[in-house]
Copies of this chain bind each other. A is one copy, B any other.
Amino acid sequence: MSLPRAKLVKNFPGCPVEATLSYLDGKWKGVILFHLMEGTLRFNELRRKLPAVTQRMLTKQLRELEEAGLLSRAVFPVVPPRVEYAMTPLGMTLKPVIRALAAWGDDYVFCSPEGRELRMASDGLCAPVATLQT
């Protein structure tokens, strides 16, 4: 059994956690949904919000989210082209999930140029700010 997570879900139908994760899987889906929570965005607007994504990857992730029914793609037949991405009503239902993910990330994940680290808020909440480089 050598299947990608999305196709494997049927093999653990008892786990709604994995079922949900399978839709958020893909490197940029989280950020994309995060940004679209605040409203419609055009392709290049999204691109500018994601520092390092390539066109290919952004297109791919957007298509997958669209295919799942989580967001809509509206093409305006003008030139230069105008394509708008927005959350569908189904996508909106993900907002509490995204917010839970964001809240936890804000509280416990600490990113630095060297990588990321997990820490309880109590592990020295008072000091570390002073140790940041100016």
Contacts and interface: CB of A to CB of B under 8 A. Distances in A.
Interface of A: 1, 5-13, 15-25, 27-28, 30-31, 33-34, 50-52, 68-70, 89-90, 93-94, 96-98, 100-109, 111-116, 118-120
Q: Max chain B CB contacts within 10 Å: which of A18, A50, A89, A90?
A: A18
16 contacts: A7-B115, A9-B109, A12-B50, A15-B30, A16-B102, A16-B106, A16-B109, A17-B98, A17-B101, A17-B105, A19-B105, A20-B101, A21-B24, A93-B104, A97-B100, A100-B101
A114 B70 CA distance: 20
A44 to B, nearest CB: 17
Nearest to A25: B25
Given A23-B118, A31-B17, A34-B17, A104 B109 contact: no
Question: How many copies of the chain does the oligomer comprise?
Answer: 2
Given A97-B104, A104-B97, A118-B68, A52 B20 contact: no
A90 B120 contact: yes
Contacts of A51: 11-12
A73 B19 CA distance: 26
Contacts of A28: 18
Nearest to A89: B120
